Amino acid sequence: MIADQRELSRLEIREDNLTGKQIADLLREHLENMYEITPPESVHALDLEALRSPEITFWTAWKGDELLGCGALKQLDFSSGEIKSMRTVKAHHRQGVASKLLAHIIQVAEQRGYDYLYLETGSMPEFAPARALYTRYGFKDCGPFADYTDDPNSVFMMKQLCRFTLS
């Protein structure tokens, strides 16, 4: 368990090649949970193979050899990306893991020069903590983006990123 900010600061975020058993198990649990709480036609979570796509960078959060969570960044075009597969291991909910992963993904998106960062999450009560997290990080509701269509089970959010140029 992550007891305080010192321990949270020792959390290690690694780019992941999606070959480990722990991440395969977490992603399987993630997909199963999405299908439990979301109508099948509204599940947009990606499986392990889809996450291996070249336009997706995937990270995992670790405390020693214990997997705490994951998240991914998909390049949509030269100026925008989409957050995918944000998930925290149940035993570590509400301990700052998702916040640390989200901050990392936003930082990478800014380093890549993206102007916008998008995401899709559920509209059901089970997704309220995720929506609150994204709102705290400056995401605002928007309409469907990329290949998404209007869906009452989805909430679409967008954050305009600050890009800094050196002169």
First to last CA, the chain: 45
Give the residue from 61, 67, 102 showing the smallest Cα distance to 84.
102
For residue 57, what are the CA distances in angstroms to 90, 140, 147? Answer: 23, 23, 19
Domains of the chain, each with CATH number or no CATH:
5-160 (3.40.630.30)
Give the residue from 96, 160, 105, 167 showing the smallest Cα distance to 129.
96
One-letter amino acid at 72 equals A
pLDDT in tens, 103-145: 999 999 999 999 999 999 999 999 999 999 999 999 999 999 9
> How far is 9 from 133, CA to CA, in rounded Å?
18
What pTM did the predictor assign? 0.91
CB atoms within 10 A of CB 85: 23
User: 3-state DSSP call for residue 83?
Assistant: strand
Distance from the Cα of residue 5 to its chain's centroid: 21
Q: Tokens 């309409």 — which residue?
A: 143
With a pLDDT cut of 90, the percent of the chain lying above it is: 88
pLDDT band at 59 (very low <50, low <70, confident <90, very high): very high
Q: What is the pLDDT of residue 1?
A: 45
> How far is 18 from 23, CA to CA, in rounded Å?
7
